[in-house]
Amino acid sequence: MPIVGQKAPEFTTRGVLNGRINDYSLSARKGTWTVLFFYPLDFTFVCPTEILAFSDRLGEFRKLNADVFGVSVDSEFCHLAWTETPREKGGIFGLAYPLLADVKKEISRAYGVLDEGAGVALRGLFVIDPEGVVQHATVNNLGVGRSVDETLRVLQAFQFVAEHGEVCPADWKPGEKTMKADWNQSKDYFAHVK
């Protein structure tokens, strides 16, 4: 897995959006925040719940100058079939962001989320800043999906830190008090919280 604070591993691959197969690369995202998440396989169980949860709230990410990409070890053709399958039949029809193909498992391996024994990616999620630096990384085992709310909260916190240079305490949400990353100045924060 990449170490947080380092450049995210570059990739170029094929992906699917709106019934079209296109080329995608991380370097093309420079200047934009990126939420890159890995999931095990198309046409499965937990995967469509989180894929659609991110899709249904994509507008919230876009307002934060962030793009979302899903990645699995499936081919772009498998992604295409799944995105054309109705939701009531286990599909993800109407998906609003690209699904990227990682058939050779190189991207999953580079991000440290490939379960070599199972041959699929674990549920890794990476928040990458506009300069291509990994600011956040989480990995879930296969049985538990991720939280869109928590991903948005973490994205907003890292954006706040980047813009203001202050740090965000546990469970911080926009509008709440932050603190200076300085021993003496941080006491102002602690004096005002319960």
Backbone angles phi, psi at 106, to 5 degrees: -75, -40
Same domain, 120 and 105: yes
pLDDT of res. 1: 53
Query: What is the rounded end-to-end Cα distance, in angstroms, of the chain?
Result: 37
- Catalytic pick among 8, 36, 47, 157: 47
* Contact assessment for residue 163 and residue 135, using Cβ atoms and an 8 Å cutoff: no
Q: What is the mean pLDDT of the chain?
A: 95
Same domain, 137 and 115: yes
Pairing of the two strands 66-72 and 33-38: parallel
Same domain, 121 and 90: yes
Angstrom distances, CA of residue 113 to CA of 108, 119, 141: 5, 10, 10
For residue 51, the domain's CATH number is 3.40.30.10
| CA 125 – CA 111 distance, rounded (Å) | 10
**pLDDT one-digit tens code per residue, 93-131:** 999 999 999 999 999 999 999 999 999 999 999 999 999
Same domain, 135 and 194: no
**pLDDT one-digit tens code per residue, 121-173:** 999 999 999 999 999 999 999 999 999 999 999 999 999 999 999 999 999 99
Same domain, 29 and 122: yes
What would the two tokens of residue 11 be?
Answer: 């990739």
* Largest separation between any pair of C-alpha atoms in the chain: 58
Reported as type and span, the H/E element at residue 185 is: helix 183-192
**pLDDT one-digit tens code per residue, 13-29:** 999 999 999 999 999 99
Same domain, 133 and 156: no
pLDDT of res. 185: 81
Domain that holds residue 51: 12-142
Same domain, 132 and 161: no
- Quick check: is 57 in a domain? yes
Question: What pTM does this model have?
Answer: 0.94
Reply yes or no on whether 47 is catalytic.
yes
Query: Would you place residue 50 in the very low, low, confident or very high pLDDT band (cuts 50, 70, 90)?
Result: very high
Same domain, 88 and 155: no
| CA 29 – CA 130 distance, rounded (Å) | 7
- Quick check: is 7 in a domain? no
